[in-house]
Structure 1
Amino acid sequence: MLNNSKNIKIAIILVTSLFFLWGVSYGLIDVMNKNFQNHLHITQHESGFLQLAYFGAYFIIALPAGYIANKYSYKIGIIFGLILYAIGCLLIIPATNLANFYLFLFAFFILACGIGSLETSANPYMVKLGDEKNASFRINAAQSFNGLGQFLGPIIGGALFLSITKQEECASKEQIEAALLANMGNVQLVYVGIAAIVILILIAFALNKIPEGSAVSSDYEQKDTSKPIGVFKRKHFNFGLLAQFLYIANQVSAGAFFINYLSEHNENLKDEQGAYYFSIALIAFMLGRILSTPLMKKIKGETILGWYSFINVILCVCLYFASGFISIVILIALFFFMSISFPTIFAVATKNLPFNQVKLGGSLLVMSIVGGAIMPIIMGLINDYFGTSMGYLAMAPLFLYVSWYGFFGSKIKA
C-alpha cells in the first residue's frame, strides 16, 4: 500500500507537469496571433485561423486519443500526446525557415493534436486520482500550474517576438528582411527548446510506473457494467458539454485579441507592452485558481462557477464602454473570473459518471474545446468591421449560459 501511495504521488507530479506544458503553449499562441499580424501581413480575421488550426485539432484528436487511453492505458495515451507535441514543435523549423503562415498552421495543428491527447488523458485521470468529493479541488490545483505556464508564455513571446520592429515601421527593404529573419529565428529557438523539454518528460513517463484502475481510486473497486454511450443520458453532462464549448470559445477569443483591444483603447501602447499586460492577465488567471481552489472545500465548485461567470457578463458590457487604463483593469479582471471555469465544468460534468463513461465523457469535453477554434474567426470578423469593443460584448451571452449551468444546469442529473 505504501508503494502504491508513492506511485500515486509520482503520477500526480508527472501529470501536473503536463498542465504546465500546455499552459506555456497556450500562452504563446495568443502572442503568435499578433506576431503574425505584424510580420506576415495578415488581418485579425485571418489570424483567427491560427486558433482554428490549434483548437480544431482538439476536436479531431479527442476521440482517437480517448480510444487509445481506453484500450491501453492513461500512460500510453499521455506518451502518444507527448510524441505529437514534440513533432509539432519541430515542424516549426521549416515553417520559420520559409516564413510561411500555412506551414505554421500545419505545425500548430500537429502540436495541438499532441496537447489535445494530453488533455484527453490528464484531465479525467486527475479527476479520478482520488475520491469524487475532492475532484474539483484536485483538478483546479493542477490547473494552477497550467496558469503558471500561461503566464510565462506571453513574457517569452513579448520579449523575443513582439519586441522586434513591425514590418510597416521599417524604413527599407533590408530592415524588413532583417526584422523578419530575427523574428523567425527567435520563434524557432523557443519551440525547439520546448521540444527538448517535452522529450525529457516523455522519457520520465516511460521510465516510471503510473497506477491505473483500483490502484488509483476506490471508485474502481466495483465492476462497472455501464455502456460508454450512456453518458448522453446524463443531463448534467450534456449541459456541461455545451457550457465547456461556450466557455472555451470566450477564453480563447479573450486572449487572441487581448493586445488588439489594448492597442485600440490606449494610445501609444506598444505591442510589447500589450504582451506584458497579457502576462499580468494570466497572473490574475493563475491567482484566480490559487485563491478560489481552497474555497471549494467550503463552497461547491458549481456555485463559484455561476457567480464568476455572471460577473464576467457584467465585465464584457463594461469593456464595450471602457477606455484608457480602466479598460486594462477590466480586461485583466475578466481573466481572474474565468480562471476556475474549465476544470470546474470538467469535474462537475463528469461527477458521478461510471468509469466506463468517464473516458468517453472526458474525450467529448476535450472535443468541446473546438469552441476556441470557431469563436476567434467570428470575433476577428466583428473586430475588423466594428472594433474590438463589439467583439468582447459578443462574449456576454456565452458567459450567461455558463453562469446558468453553474447555478442550475449542473444540478439536473438524469
Structure 2
Amino acid sequence: MSSSSSDSSSGQAVSKVVPREFLMAFILTTCCFALWGFANDITNPLVKVFKEVFQISNTQSSLVQFAFYGGYFTMALPAAMFIRKYSYKGAIMVGFSLYAVGALMSIPASLNTNFWIFIVGFYILTFGLAFLETSCNPYILAMGPPETATQRLNLAQAFNPIGSLTGMVVASTIIAPNLQVGEFRAAMESKSPSAIRYVEADYPDGLPDFKQEFGALDGAVSAGLSNMQANDPESFLAIQQHDLGVVRTPYVVIAGVVIGFLILFAITKMPTFAKEEPDGPMGEVAGRLLAKAHYREGVVAQAFYVGAQITCWTFIIHYGMERVGLTLAQAQTWNIAAMVIFLVSRFVCTFMLKYFSPGKLLAALAIVAIAFTLGAIWLPGKIGLTCLVLISACMSLMFPTIYGIALKNLPHEEAKLGSAGLIMAIVGGALLPLLQGKFIDELGVRNSFYLPMVCFVVIAIYGIRTFTRFESEPVAAEV
C-alpha cells in the first residue's frame, strides 16, 4: 500500500501517489476534506456552550454530537445508492447542497432561541457530510495505482485537520471571547457582585475557592445561570439571544463558502471511472463485502475509532474547565494544540507508510493511545490534560488507514457500497459522546475516559489482525 520503489534492474516505474491526469481532480476533492473538518470541529465546543446557554445537562448537550454524527449513519447508504446510479461528482454536489441548508438553519434556530432547531440543522448538515465522505474517500482511492491507495488517502486526509484547525480557531477567537456566558463565568470567578448575587442563597457560608476546588466554579456558574433564568428571565433571554447570534455567524459564512464550491464543482470536468457494465444487485454486492473479514472488522474498528476521536476532542473542553480550572477560551486553546499535533502527525504518518506496514503502525499507535488515555485518567491537573492532548498524535493515522485496509483491492462496485458502511460507522461519534456525557454526569469527567480507552483496545486488535492475517493474505479482486 505504500509507494513502490524504482527497480533499476527490471525497469519498473515508480508508482506515483497522484498521477498527473488526476491532479486537478485530486486537489478539488481534497478541499472537501477540509470543509467537513471545519464543520466537525467548530461544532465540538458547542456541547459545552449549549449546556450553559440552554441550561441543560451534559447528557442533553451531547445530543449535539448525537445529531451531528447520527446524520452520517442515516444518509451514508442513500449516498452510496446515489453514487451507484449517478456519479461521485453528483454525490459531492448533493453533499454541498445539504451542508449549506443545514448550516443556514442556524438562522431560525438562533432567532427563536431554540435548541431543537439547532439539532435538526446539525442533522441535515451531516446528511451533506455523509454524501461528501461516502463519495470523496473512494474517489480519492480510485485516482491512481492501487498500491499507493492508502498513502493517497492519508495525503488527502492530511488536509482534513487543516479545516478542523480552522474551525477550532474560529471557535476560540470569534465564538468563545464574545459569549456573554463567558463574561458571566469570569464575573463569578472574580466574585463580582453582578454575578454572585444570583448564587448567594446557595452558598450561605460564602463561595468556595475556585482555584483550589475542581468543579466548584463550573457548579457555581451553572447555579447562577439557572437562578437567573428563574428569577431574572429577561436578562437570561438577552444572554441567550446574544450568544446564539455569535454562534450563528460562522455557520452562515461557511454556508456561503460551500455554495461557492458547489458552483465550482458544477462547472469543472471530473473523472467518472465509469464501467461498461452496471453494478450488480446491492444485496449480492453486500454479501460479497460482508464475507471479507478485513472489511467487516474494519467497519467495527472505524465505529470505535470515530467514537474515541469525538469523545477525546469534545471533552477536552470539559476536562480543562472542570479539572484544571481553565476558561472556555483557554480550554479551546488546548483543543487547538491537540489539532496541531494531529495535523503534524498525519503528515509524519503518511510519510512513515512508505516504510512500515499500515497494520503494524495502526496497532502501535493504538497501544500508545491506550497509555495516554490512562494518563488522562490517573494523572493530575495539566499533566493529565497533556496526556489527553497527546492522544491526537496517535489518532491521526487511524481513520484513513482503517478505511484503506477495509477497502483494500475491492472492485469499484464493492468499494462504493463498502464506503457507505465505513461512513455509517461514524455513528460511533453519535453514540459514544452521548454515553460519555452520561458518565460525566454520574462518574466525573476523568473516569469517563475509560470509554475511549476501550475503543483504542478494539483498534489495536484490528491492527494486529491486519498485519498477522490480512496483509499476509492477498485479496483476489478487480482493481
TM-score, normalised to structure 1's length?
A: 0.93
Q: Which of 39, 47, 62 is equivalent to 2:61?
A: 47
- The reply to whether residue 99 of structure 1 matches residue 113 of structure 2 is yes
- The reply to whether residue 387 of structure 1 matches residue 444 of structure 2 is yes
Q: Which of 447, 450, 454 is equivalent to 1:397?
A: 454
Aligned to 2:256: 196
Q: Which amino acid aligns with 1:266?
A: V
Q: Secondary structure of the equivalent of 1:361?
A: helix
Per the TM alignment, residue 6 of structure 1 is displaced from its structure 2 partner at its CA by 6.0
Distance 1:261 1:225, change over 3 A: same
Aligned to 2:174: 160
Aligned to 1:232: 290
Aligned to 2:266: 206
Per the TM alignment, residue 266 of structure 1 is displaced from its structure 2 partner at its CA by 0.8
Q: Which of 4, 11, 25 is equivalent to 2:25?
A: 11
CA distance, structure 2, for counterparts of residue 305 and residue 27 of structure 1: 23
Question: Can you list the C-alpha shifts for 1:93-139, whole angstroms capped at 9, x where unaligned?
Answer: 00011121111000000001101110000011111111121111111
CA distance, structure 1, for counterparts of residue 20 and residue 345 of structure 2: 30
Per the TM alignment, residue 175 of structure 1 is displaced from its structure 2 partner at its CA by 5.1
CA distance, structure 1, for counterparts of residue 21 and residue 256 of structure 2: 25
Q: Which of 286, 296, 299 is equivalent to 2:353?
A: 296
Q: Secondary structure of the equivalent of 2:44?
A: helix
Q: In 2, are the aligned partners of 1:305 and 1:341 still within 8 Å (CA)?
A: yes
Q: In 2, are the aligned partners of 1:152 and 1:279 still within 8 Å (CA)?
A: no
Question: Can you list the C-alpha shifts for 1:129-168, whole angstroms capped at 9, x where unaligned?
Answer: 1112111111111111110111121221122322223266
- What does 1:12-411 correspond to in 2, within 5 Å? 12-163=26-177, 164-166=179-181, 169=188, 171=195, 173=232, 176-213=236-273, 227-229=284-286, 230-267=288-325, 269-409=326-466, 411=469
Q: In 2, are the aligned partners of 1:153 and 1:279 still within 8 Å (CA)?
A: no
* Range that drifts further, 257-266 or 119-128: 257-266
Q: Which amino acid aligns with 2:400?
A: P
Q: In 2, are the aligned partners of 1:127 and 1:135 still within 8 Å (CA)?
A: yes
Q: Secondary structure of the equivalent of 1:212?
A: coil
Question: Can you list the C-alpha shifts for 1:27-81, whole angstroms capped at 9, x where unaligned?
Answer: 1111111111121111111111111101111111001001111111000010011
CA distance, structure 1, for counterparts of residue 424 and residue 96 of structure 2: 18
Q: In 2, are the aligned partners of 1:239 and 1:409 still within 8 Å (CA)?
A: no
Q: Secondary structure of the equivalent of 1:297?
A: coil
Q: Which amino acid aligns with 2:92?
A: I
Q: Secondary structure of the equivalent of 1:247?
A: helix
Q: In 2, are the aligned partners of 1:57 and 1:113 still within 8 Å (CA)?
A: yes
Bigger radius of gyration, 1 or 2? 2
Distance 1:5 1:246, change over 3 A: closer
Q: Which amino acid aligns with 1:240?
A: G
Q: Which amino acid aligns with 2:440?
A: N
* Range that drifts further, 240-249 or 147-156: 147-156
Distance 1:125 1:194, change over 3 A: same
Instruction: Tell me which protein shows more helix as a share of its residues.
Output: 1
Distance 1:48 1:42, change over 3 A: same
Distance 1:350 1:5, change over 3 A: closer
Return 5+ residue gaps in structure 2 as ranges: 1-17, 189-193, 196-227
Q: Secondary structure of the equivalent of 1:99?
A: coil
Per the TM alignment, residue 222 of structure 1 is displaced from its structure 2 partner at its CA by 10
- RMSD of Structure 2 on Structure 1 (CA): 2.1
Q: Secondary structure of the equivalent of 1:42?
A: coil
Q: Which amino acid aligns with 1:95?
A: A
Q: In 2, are the aligned partners of 1:151 and 1:280 still within 8 Å (CA)?
A: no
Q: In 1, are the aligned partners of 2:376 and 2:383 still within 8 Å (CA)?
A: no
CA distance, structure 1, for counterparts of residue 149 and residue 239 of structure 2: 48
Matched residues, percent identical?
32
Q: In 1, are the aligned partners of 2:58 and 2:437 still within 8 Å (CA)?
A: yes
Q: In 1, are the aligned partners of 2:375 and 2:388 still within 8 Å (CA)?
A: no
Q: In 1, are the aligned partners of 2:149 and 2:404 still within 8 Å (CA)?
A: yes
Q: In 1, are the aligned partners of 2:22 and 2:144 still within 8 Å (CA)?
A: no
Structure with the larger RCO, 1 or 2 (CA within 8 Å, 6+ apart): 1
Per the TM alignment, residue 190 of structure 1 is displaced from its structure 2 partner at its CA by 0.7
CA distance, structure 1, for counterparts of residue 19 and residue 59 of structure 2: 50
Q: In 2, are the aligned partners of 1:246 and 1:399 still within 8 Å (CA)?
A: yes
Aligned to 2:9: none
Q: Which amino acid aligns with 1:351?
A: K
Per the TM alignment, residue 182 of structure 1 is displaced from its structure 2 partner at its CA by 2.6
Distance 1:184 1:7, change over 3 A: farther
Per the TM alignment, residue 261 of structure 1 is displaced from its structure 2 partner at its CA by 0.9
Q: In 1, are the aligned partners of 2:180 and 2:243 still within 8 Å (CA)?
A: no
Q: In 1, are the aligned partners of 2:80 and 2:134 still within 8 Å (CA)?
A: yes
Q: Secondary structure of the equivalent of 2:270?
A: coil
CA distance, structure 2, for counterparts of residue 79 and residue 272 of structure 1: 35
